[in-house]
């Protein structure tokens, strides 16, 4: 029950629905247990003793009981479902909210398909037990307990003989639980892996088709599906093994009942009607015990699902803020790194090593270097996507840790290398960071990003709804909308992470000219592989293996004959040769 105790904050507030459900369940059980008594009266008093005048009364009584049972069953089931649905509504919201605030370190290792599986299949597995499993467990206890009490009033010896086999049934059920729970946990994990594979394949279908890897993908999916199938078959095998055994022990109780009960009737120690009633009551005991396997099944699934949900809920949020965090401050944009070292999870090598520099407010900083040299890492520390293991990052003389996260990130415009657009209108995508932006501001941002013209050519202009991840637009068009989104934010610090990599040289030049006005009085970090994108920067940092190996302005770095000059020669020698010819 440890898992359920940890999740109690989600279902305890709605316990009144569970209590109402249990109350009406007791009425259902009470009316059900009246049936054997009525049956006994019909056999012993009406049929054998000939008291036919009791029939009208018994008919009316039976109709009343049916009515009470029907109404009680409806309320019991409805409030039980209400208990589960309301509980997981809060749980699902909490999970989604937690995912929004988990750090990038968590997502570095998380699989999208697995997370989707947790928020859907695992949440539903937990809900099903809350709505149905708890009530059925209570039903089991009450049915068995009350039935045994009623049976004792008929015949204590016959009751003892009948239930003598039940402890063995409980032992078998307990063994079943110990094996089925780990098995269900593995099924959930296997389903998460299968879901992840489907998600990755659909997201990367262009790559799959362009490289003709359909057969490979089918084979890989078949492997994951085969694993999922085998784990389900193992569960089915457990059920097939234990359920007949439980059924055999239950039927053994019936055999003992009929044997000894028949003996008592023959010798006059028990009436025929009482034996029939007794047989019905034994059914009310055996059936719930047999159904206990299903309850354990539900419980095991819910427990396995709860454990996977807790992995998310208990994941620490490393990027936090305190009550004294700086809020409602307009950032000027003075940036300083002081001996900053950054290490990513599961990577022994430092991504950044003792980085120190000062970028004055309004200046433009260029970052260039080979892939993995640490360019993007510098900008991700500004927004606190990651925390340095050593050193400090200051903005306007204040450690970024002392800013409110919302205050900090709402004033840093970030255009990432991998453009992401939402399945919404172009207008909504551009104003995503500033929902209150006016249409004039949205259009102005689009014009500066050289996106206005192609947007107006679309069927619905700014109201055009984009496909998933911007499907329907070219890479350059998506990138320009992302730039417009950053401009619309009106940030104090602008970060362009290879922001023009997907556009042609002509469009890049047009964007750069437009961005000159946008970058004025803003601290701008430009990450680029093309020297043409950053040669006008006030400072250029050349990174290699997480360290700044060269720094200066374009002309200075050209004269140093170092890495920057080598990159310049590679990019420009062919162009110069063409011009000379």
Distance CA 62, CA 38 (A): 8
Listed in order, strand segments (DSSP E) in 6-120 are none
Whether residue 341 sits in one domain with residue 263: no
CB-based contact 111:394 (threshold 8 Å) = no
Mean of pLDDT values over 554-575: 82
Whether residue 361 sits in one domain with residue 301: no
Determine the structural domain holding residue 390 and report its residue range. Answer: 325-411+528-581
Whether residue 331 sits in one domain with residue 290: no
- Residue 441 forms part of a structural domain: no
SS3 342: strand
Domain termination residue (choose one: 255, 284, 313): 313
Whether residue 400 sits in one domain with residue 264: no
- Answer whether residue 471 shows pLDDT above 50: yes
Cβ neighbours of residue 446 closer than 8 Å, sequence gap 6 or more: 430, 452, 455, 462, 480, 481, 484
Whether residue 166 sits in one domain with residue 113: yes
Whether residue 120 sits in one domain with residue 65: yes
Cβ neighbours of residue 134 closer than 8 Å, sequence gap 6 or more: 18, 80
Whether residue 308 sits in one domain with residue 393: no
How many Cα neighbours within 13 Å face the side chain of 96?
A: 10
- Answer whether residue 328 shows pLDDT above 80: no
Whether residue 331 sits in one domain with residue 242: no
pLDDT digits (tens, 9 = 90+) for 285-311: 777 776 776 777 788 888 888 888 998
Within 10 angstroms of residue 76's Cβ, the number of other Cβ atoms is 22
Tokens of 469: 């991840």
* β-strand partners of 357: 337
User: At 359, which CATH number?
Assistant: 3.40.50.300
User: At 301, which CATH number?
Assistant: 1.20.1560.10
Whether residue 134 sits in one domain with residue 88: yes
pLDDT digits (tens, 9 = 90+) for 175-201: 877 787 788 778 878 887 887 788 777
Distance CA 528, CA 518 (A): 18
Distance CA 538, CA 361 (A): 11
* Phi-psi sector, 108: left (phi>0), alpha (psi -120 to 50), beta: alpha
Whether residue 402 sits in one domain with residue 535: yes
Distance CA 512, CA 534 (A): 10
Mean of pLDDT values over 277-286: 77
pTM: 0.73
Give the chain's domain count.
2
Percent of the chain whose pLDDT exceeds 70: 92
- Residue 429 forms part of a structural domain: no
pLDDT digits (tens, 9 = 90+) for 32-90: 888 888 887 888 777 787 777 788 888 888 888 889 989 999 999 999 999 999 998 88
- Residue 394 forms part of a structural domain: yes
* β-strand partners of 548: 543
């Amino acid at each position: 029950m440890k898992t359920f105790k940890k999740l109690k904050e989600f279902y305890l507030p709605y316990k009144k629905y569970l209590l109402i459900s249990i109350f009406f369940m007791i009425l259902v059980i009470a009316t059900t247990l009246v049936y054997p008594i009525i049956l006994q009266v019909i056999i012993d008093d009406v049929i054998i003793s000939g008291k036919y005048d009791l029939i009208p009364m018994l008919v009316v009584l039976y109709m009343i009981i049916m009515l009470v049972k029907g109404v009680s069953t409806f309320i019991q089931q409805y409030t039980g479902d209400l208990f589960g649905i309301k509980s997981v509504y809060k749980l699902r919201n909490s999970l989604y909210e937690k995912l929004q605030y988990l750090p990038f370190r968590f997502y570095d290792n998380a699989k999208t398909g697995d997370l989707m599986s947790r928020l859907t299949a695992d949440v539903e597995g937990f809900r099903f037990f809350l709505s149905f499993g708890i009530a059925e467990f209570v039903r089991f206890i009450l049915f068995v307990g009350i039935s045994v009490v009623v049976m004792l009033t008929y015949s204590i010896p016959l009751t003892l003989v009948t239930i003598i086999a039940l402890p063995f049934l409980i032992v078998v059920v307990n063994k079943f639980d110990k094996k089925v729970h780990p098995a269900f946990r593995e099924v959930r994990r296997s389903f998460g892996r299968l879901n992840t594979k489907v998600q990755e394949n659909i997201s990367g279908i262009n790559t799959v088709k362009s490289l003709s890897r359909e057969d490979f993908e089918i084979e890989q999916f078949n492997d994951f599906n085969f694993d999922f199938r085998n784990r389900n078959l193992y569960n089915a095998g457990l059920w097939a093994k234990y359920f007949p055994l439980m059924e055999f022990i239950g039927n053994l109780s019936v055999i003992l009942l009929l044997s000894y009960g028949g003996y008592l009737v023959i010798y006059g120690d028990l009436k025929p009607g009482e034996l029939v009633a007794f047989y019905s009551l034994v059914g009310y005991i055996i059936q719930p015990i047999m159904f206990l396997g299903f309850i354990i099944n539900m419980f095991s699934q819910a427990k396995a699902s709860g454990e996977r949900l807790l992995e998310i809920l208990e994941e620490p949020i490393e990027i936090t803020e305190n009550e004294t965090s700086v809020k409602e401050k307009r950032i000027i944009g003075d940036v300083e790194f002081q001996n900053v070292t950054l290490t990513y999870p599961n990577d022994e090598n430092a991504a950044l090593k003792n980085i120190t520099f000062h970028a004055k407010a309004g200046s433009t900083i260029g970052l260039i270097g080979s892939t993995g040299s640490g360019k993007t890492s510098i900008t991700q520390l500004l927004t606190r996507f990651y925390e340095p293991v050593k050193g400090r990052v200051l903005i306007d003389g204040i450690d970024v840790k002392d800013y409110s996260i919302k205050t900090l990130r709402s004033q840093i415009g970030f255009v990432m290398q991998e453009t992401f657009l939402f399945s919404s209108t172009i207008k909504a995508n551009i104003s995503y960071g500033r929902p209150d932006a006016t249409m004039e501001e949205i259009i102005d941002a689009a014009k500066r990003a050289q996106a206005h013209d192609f947007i107006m050519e679309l069927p619905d202009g700014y109201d055009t709804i984009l496909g998933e991840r911007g499907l329907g637009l070219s890479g350059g068009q998506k990138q320009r909308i992302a730039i417009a989104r950053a401009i619309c934010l009106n940030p104090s610090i602008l970060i362009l992470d290879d922001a023009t990599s997907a556009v042609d040289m002509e469009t890049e030049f047009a964007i750069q000219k437009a961005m000159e006005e946008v970058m004025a009085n803003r601290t701008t970090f430009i990450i680029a592989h093309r020297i043409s994108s950053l040669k006008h920067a006030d400072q250029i940092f050349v990174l290699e293996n997480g360290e700044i190996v060269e720094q200066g302005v374009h002309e200075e770095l050209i004269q140093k004959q170092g890495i920057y000059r080598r990159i310049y020669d590679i990019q420009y020698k062919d162009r110069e040769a063409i011009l000379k010819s």
